[in-house]
Structure 1
Amino acid sequence: MTNRFHGMDNKDQCKKDLLNGTCSSLSNAGNQFLDNCSELLVLDARDCANESAVVTVRTIQDVVSKTKRLYIASQSRDGDLEDFFMHENQPWPPSLAVNGKLRLPTKKSELLQHLETEGQPEPPTYFDVKVFDGAAIVHALSSNHAFTFDDYGDKVFLPWTRQQLQNSNRIDIVWDTYRTDSLKQSTGEKRGKGVRRKVGGQTKIPGNFPDFLKDPVNKEELFNFLTTKVSTHDYSDCIRRVFCMLTSTQPMSICDHEEADSKMCIHIDDALKKGSRAILVRTVDTDVIVILVGIFCNLIACYPGTCIWVAFGMGKHFQYFNINTICHNLGEDKSRGLPVFHAFTGSDTTSQFFGKAKHSAWETWNSFPAVTEAFLFMAHHPFKSLGVNSSQFQLLEEFTCHLYDKTSTLRSVTKLRQDLFSRKARTMDNIPPTQDALLQHSNRSIYQASIWTTSLQPQQNAPSPEDFGWTKTGSTWTPVWTILPEASKACRELLKCGCKKLPFCSGNCKCCSAVHWNLFVI
C-alpha cells in the first residue's frame, strides 16, 4: 500500500512541477493573454502566424460562437431543434470538407489490411500478361543516370521493358488521360503543382524529377514521348508483344476512360479473350485492387481459370495480393459491393468522414451488413442517383449513424446530430453531416463507384457530374455541399413565435428579446 501511495504522490508532484514550469515560462515571457496585439502569436516564441492560419482560426472561432448562440436561442425560444439540426452551421459540412474542399482520406491503403489473404498461394514466376500503371513505373524508375529525356527513354525505360519480358509473354503499359475539367483536379491541388518544362529528346531532365511529375502537362508530354520510344523500338529479337499507349487502341477497343486504374481492366479483358489466364497487375494505388475485386466475379464467369495477381507498393511496403483469394474470403456480395463502400468512405473524388478512417468504416460494415443491399444496388445500377426517400439512401443513412455511434438505435442523422451535440457534447466536426449533405455525398460516391464498376465497358458514356453532387465553375468542378441554407440564415424561420401582427413581431416577443440579449446571430 505504501508503494502505491508513494507512486500517486510522485504523479501529483510531476503534475505540480509541470504546472509550475508552465506558469514560470508564461511569467517570464509576459502574460500573452493580456496582449492586445491583433496578430495571431505563438505563445512562447512570439512568432506571428501566416495569414491562412489566422483566417482558419478566426473562421473556427466564428463558427463555434455562432453555433452555440444559435443553439441557445433555439432552446430558449421553444425552437424546433430537429429543424435546427437539419441545417449545416456553415457553407460546407465540417464532417466532409476542409475549408470548402473535399476532406480527402489520409490513408486509403488502410483498407487493404481488411482484405483477407488467408490461404493465398505463392505467386507464379511466369505470367501470361503483365499490365502496368505507367505513371507508377515512371515514378519508381530512377532518373539519376539520365542527362536528357532521350537518355531516360533509351537507358532507363526501354531496358526496363525488356527486363519485364523475360518472364512474361506480353506487357501492357497504360497511362492516365489528363483532362482540364477532371474531377481529380482537387487531388492534383493537394499534391501541389510542379515547374513546367517542355519535354524533348535533347531537353535536360530536371533535377527535381518528382516535382516535374506534379504538372499534368509535363506528364502527358512525357508519356507521349515514352510511348513513341516503345513503339519505334526494335523488339524483333523478342517473340513477345509490348503495348504502350495513352489510349486503348487496336487491338483493344477505343475507350473513353480517363484513369489508368479502369483502363487496365480493358487490357486485362483483351488478354483473357486471347487465351491468357495468369495476369499480373503492377500498381501503387489501392483503387486498382478495389476495382479488380469488384469486377472479378464477372471475369471468372466469362473466363474460367483466370488468376489475377497484384504487385502492390514500393520498397518495404511491397507485397502481392491474389484477387482470387480475396474474393473467395469476402464472398460474392461483399466483393461486388466493395467499390461502392470504398467510394462512400473516401477516395480521390469523395470525402472521408472526419475521424472515420477505413478501419472504422470496415468495422461498421461488419456490424451493419444490411447496408450491403444498398452497395449492391448501386453497383448493379451505375450512374443512378438517389433521392432522400429511397430505401438505398435510408440504408446509407443508418450506416452513417452506426459509423458515428455504434450504440445508437437512431436511423436519422438529424436526430443523431442533435443527440451527439446536446447529450454527448460532440463538436460540430465530430457529428455526422446533415441529411441533405449526406445525400449529396452519396451521389458523388455513386458517380465515382459507377466509373469503377463499369471498368469492363470500353465506352462508359458517363453522364455529367452535375446530377451527382457537383457543380462546374469555369473548367473546375466543385462539390455541392447542401442545397439547404445555413442554420444562421434559416434561423428566423426555424425559431417560432406566437405573434399575430405579421410580418413584424411585438415588443414582448421572444424574437425581440433574443435579439436584445444577443442570442440571435444572422
Structure 2
Amino acid sequence: MQEFTNLSYTTSEQHKDLTEARMKRDNADVEEISSKLVVWSPFSPDPSLRNIATGVVAEEGVNVHEYESIGHKIMHKMIGQPAFTFTFRRKDKAITLGQTSSIRVAPDRTIDSALLFQRFLVVSQTGELALEEVMHYELSPFLPALFEARDIFRKADKPQLAHAICDHASDAILQSVLETECHVLDGGSLLHQVPWKRGQNYGEIAQSYADFTVRHYGSATTVVFDGYEEGPSIKDNTHQRRGHNSHHIVHFTADTEFSGKKEEFLSRDVNKQTLIKMIIAELRRSGFDVVNAPGDADVDIVKAAVRASLVHTTTLIGEDTDLLVLLLYYAQRDSKDLYYKSGKAKADGSFKVYDIKHLQEILGHDVCSQLMFIHAMTGCDTTSRIFTVGKKAAFQKLVKGDSVLQLCAGAFTIPNQTADVIDDLGCQAMVILFGGKSTDSLATTRFNTFSKKVVSASSFVTPERLPPTESATRLHCRRVYYQIMVWMGTYKGMDATNWGWDLQDNRFVPLMSRMNAAPDNLLKVIHCNCSTACKTLRCSCRRYGLPCTTVCGLCQLEECDNPHNKFLPDESDND
C-alpha cells in the first residue's frame, strides 16, 4: 500500500530522555554535580558530619546518621503499647542538622536573684545579725551588680566613653578629615563594611574586600586582623556572649558558594578566621601591608598607626572605643597629624573624626593614661559593666580632679603591682564611683546605698542597684589590672588565674567571689529536702544557685549533683 499510494511511514525515538534538549540539560547537571564534588568530596578524610553542598558542620548532638538504631529503639518501645494512644517523644527522635541552629550559653538565667535577695533580708531580720553586717555578703546566687547570669559579664557600653570624651573636648572632634598620606584599618571593622552578594563564592567575597579597600583608601594602607587562637583567652567570656546565638561551623573553599546570612556565618570564630586568611591573601596580592595578630589586635592596630604617624599623616579607621583609648595613650607628641575616624557614616553622611594630638593637649598626659583604668573599671571586653555606674560619670569624676580616683587610676598603670595593693586601691575606687567617702568601706557603702534607695524607691530595691561586695570588687579589680597590663604590653609572666580568672574546660571563666552568698546561719534556713541527688531545678538550692549544706535532705546521704557545690577558697589566701 505504501508503494501503491507513494507514501512512506517512519518513526522516531519517543522516550523523553533521548531528546536533544533533555540530553543537553543532563550534561549541564552532570557538570554542576562534578564541580560540587570537586569542592566537596564525599570521600574526604574529614570525619565530621556535614552538608556537602553548604559546608555546614553538624554539632555534637546531631545523630540523624544513626537513624536505623534510633528507629529500632522506638519500635522496641512500641511493643505492647496501644497503637492509637502511643506517642513519639521528642527526646527519642533523631536530631537533624536543622534542629541545632544555636548554642545555649547560660543555663542559670532562670535564677531570680531579686527574690532570693528579699528572702535573705527577711530572714536576717529574724536573727541576731545586724543589717550592716549582712551587707558584707552578696545575698544573691551570683553578683548582679557585675554579672547578668552566673559567669556571664554584664555587657559593657563602650561607646559611652567616646561620647563623654566628645562632649568634654568638642574642639578636637571633626566632621571630616583632609586626605592623609596613610591609612590603618581595623580588619574586624572592615569585615562588616563590605556587603556580600547572593550567588558569590567565598573567593569572590575575599576579592571584594581587596576591591573595596583599593577604592576607598588607596594602596598606602595597612590592614590588621584579629587572630582567633584555639587556646584559652581572657576574651572567652565576650566570645561566649557574642556566640550565644551563633550558628554552625562551615567548611568551605574559595569555590564554595556562600549561602545563608553574613552575620550568622561570622558569628563563629572558626568561620571568620578561615575567611580572614582568604581576604589576607587577596589584600597582599593587591599590594597591601597586612598583619594577622596572634590574638586580640587592638594594640597591634594602634601601634601600626602610631608608627606610620611618625613619618606620614595617618588616619586609623575603626569602630571600637578601645582603639580611641589606646591611641590617646600610645600616640607620640612629635608625630605628624594622627586621626581616628569611624568607619560608619552618620545619618547626615558625615563621619566623626577624632584629632588625637589635639585631644591629648586638651586632656593632658595623665588623663590620657588614666583613661585605660576608667575604661576597664567600668566595663570592656574582658571586664564587666558596673550596674548604675556609667562611663560618662566616671570620666567626669576623673577630669574634674577627684584625687582618690586619680591616685587609683595612676597606680593601675604601674607594672608589677602586688595583688594586695590592687585590691585595696580598687575597693577605694569602687566606693568613690558609688558616691561614697574615701574613708568608707564597701560594706558601709552598700548599707548606705540600700538605706537611701529604700527611702526614695517606689518599689523593692533589687540587688544589682547596690555596690558589689568587697570580695567581688577585689576580683573585678584584678581583672581590670591584668587587662591594663595587656594593653601596655607588660603582662608577660603574669598568670591570669592569679588575677581574677579561673581555667575551666580550656577556657577562662571569671571568678565571681570568694565568699558564700550569705552568712552560714542564713544559708541553713534555705535548704532542700531532696530525696534524690539534686539533679533538677526542683531542688530549691539548685534553683536559687546555692550549694547544698549539711541541713539539706537525703541528698547528703549520697553523691549530690548540685553544680553549685564548689569549694570556696579562703578570702585571706594570697594569690
Asked if Structure 1 and Structure 2 have the same fold, meaning a TM-score greater than 0.5 normalized by the shorter chain, the answer is yes
Distance in 2 of aligned mates of 1:186 and 1:422? 34
- Map 1:114-513 onto structure 2 (within 5 A): 114-115=164-165, 116-120=168-172, 124-144=177-197, 147-154=200-207, 156-166=208-218, 170-180=220-230, 181-192=232-243, 193-233=246-286, 235=287, 242-247=288-293, 258-272=295-309, 276-296=311-331, 299-300=332-333, 304-316=334-346, 318-366=351-399, 368-381=402-415, 384-387=417-420, 390=421, 393-405=423-435, 411-422=440-451, 424-425=453-454, 426-454=461-489, 461=492, 463-489=494-520, 491=522
Distance 1:431-1:142 versus aligned 2 partners, 3 A rule: same
> Does structure 1 retain, via aligned residues, the 8 Å contact 2:157–2:385?
no
Q: CA contact under 8 A between 1:386 and 1:393: conserved in structure 2?
A: yes
Amino acid at match of 1:265: V
Name the CA shift for 1:53/1:435 in 2 (closer, same or farther; >3 Å): closer
Question: Residues 462 and 421 of structure 1: is their aligned pair in 2 closer, same or farther, counting only changes over 3 Å?
Answer: same
Q: Is the 8 A contact 1:279 1:309 kept in 2?
A: yes
Q: Secondary structure at the match of 1:349?
A: coil
Match of residue 497 from structure 1: none
When residues 384 and 128 of structure 1 are mapped into structure 2, their CA distance, relative to the original with a 3 A threshold, is: farther
Contact 1:294/1:453 (CA < 8 Å) preserved in 2? no
Structure 2 CA distance, aligned partners of 1:55 and 1:461?
35
Distance apart, 1:190 and its partner CA: 2.0
Cα deviation per residue 1:111-150 (whole Å; 9 max; x = unaligned)? 1122144333865533232111112111111112661112
SS of the aligned residue for 1:161 comes to helix
Q: Is the 8 A contact 1:129 1:276 kept in 2?
A: no
Three-state SS of the structure 2 residue aligned to 1:445 is helix
Amino acid at match of 2:140: Q
For residue 327 of structure 1, report the CA deviation from its aligned partner: 1.4
Q: Partner letter of residue 414 of structure 1?
A: A
Shift of 1:62: 4.5
SS of the counterpart of 2:112? helix
How far is the alpha carbon of 1:58 from its aligned partner? 5.4
Query: Which amino acid in the other structure matches residue 518 of structure 2?
Result: A
Q: Offset of 1:314 from its aligned partner?
A: 1.5
Give the stretch that moved more between structures: 462-471 or 112-121.
Answer: 112-121
Q: Report the count of equivalent residues.
A: 407
Moved more, 204-213 or 109-118: 109-118
Note the 1:62-101 alignment, pairs <5 A: 62-74=115-127, 77=128, 79=129, 81-101=131-151
Quick one: distance in 2 between partners of 1:448 and 1:370?
Answer: 21
Q: Provide the rounded CA distance (Å) in 1 between the counterparts of 2:439 and 2:467.
A: 12
- Residues 70-107 of structure 1: CA deviation (Å, up to 9, x unaligned): 43134xx2x35544222221342211111113433452
Q: Tell whether the 8 Å contact from 1:397 to 1:411 is kept in structure 2 after alignment.
A: no
Q: Distance in 2 between matches of 1:54 and 1:224?
A: 34
Does the 8 Å contact 1:470/1:478 carry over to 2?
Answer: yes
Amino acid at match of 1:87: Y
Give runs of aligned pairs for residues 95-114 of structure 1, distance below 5 A.
Answer: 95-114=145-164
1:385 and 1:468 in contact (8 A); partners too = no
CA distance 1:171–1:212, change in 2 (3 Å): same
Distance in 2 (CA, whole Å) between partners of 1:52 and 1:342 is 26
**2:108·2:149 contact (CA, 8 Å) conserved in 1?**
no
Aligned equivalents of 1:280, 1:443: Cα separation in 2: 34
How far residue 473 of structure 1 moved from its aligned partner, in angstroms, is: 0.6
Aligned to 1:498: none
How big is the shift at 1:469?
Answer: 0.5
The alpha-carbon distance between structure 1 residues 393 and 54, as it changes in their structure 2 partners (threshold 3 A), is closer
**For the residues of structure 2 that align with 1:145 and 1:476, how far apart are their CA atoms?**
36
Give the residue type in structure 2 aligned to 1:449. I
2: CA distance, partners of 1:124 / 1:400: 39
Q: How far has the Cα of 1:57 moved from its partner?
A: 5.8
Please give the secondary structure, in 1, of the residue aligned with 2:197.
Answer: coil
* Cα deviation code 1:291-315 (max 9, x no counterpart): 111222xx22xxx133210111513
Q: Unaligned 5+ residue runs, structure 2? A: 1-103, 455-460, 525-550, 553-575
Question: What per-residue deviation string (whole Å, max 9, x for no partner) do you get for residues 309-330 of structure 1?
Answer: 0111513274111111221111
> Given residue 217 of structure 1, which amino acid in structure 2 is its aligned partner?
V
8 A contact 1:117–1:322 mirrored in 2: no
Contact 2:172-2:355 within 8 A present in 1 as well: yes
Answer whether contact 2:173 2:353 (CA < 8 A) is retained.
no
SS, match of residue 379 in structure 1:
coil
C-alpha RMSD over aligned residues: 2.9
Relative to structure 1, the CA distance from residue 165 to residue 57 in structure 2 (aligned partners, 3 Å threshold; closer, same or farther) is closer
Pair 342,418 (structure 1): closer, same or farther in 2 beyond 3 Å: same
SS of the aligned residue for 1:316 comes to: coil
Alignment deviations for residues 233-260 of structure 1 (CA, whole Å, 9 cap, x no partner): 4x5xxxxxx211323xxxxxxxxx5212
- After TM superposition, the score normalised by the length of structure 1 is 0.71
CA distance in 2, matches of 1:119, 1:54: 48
Matched letter for residue 354 of structure 2: F
Distance in 2 (alpha carbons) for counterparts of 1:68 and 1:176: 47
Larger Rg: 2
Equivalent position of 1:18 in the other structure: none
Deviations 1:353-412, CA, capped at 9 Å, x for gaps: 11222223223434534311221222132x63531xx3x644433332233236x57521
Q: Using a 3 Å threshold, how does the CA distance of structure 1 residues 133 and 492 change in structure 2: closer, same or farther?
A: closer
What is residue 87 of structure 2 aligned with on the other side? none
Tell me the percent identity. 19
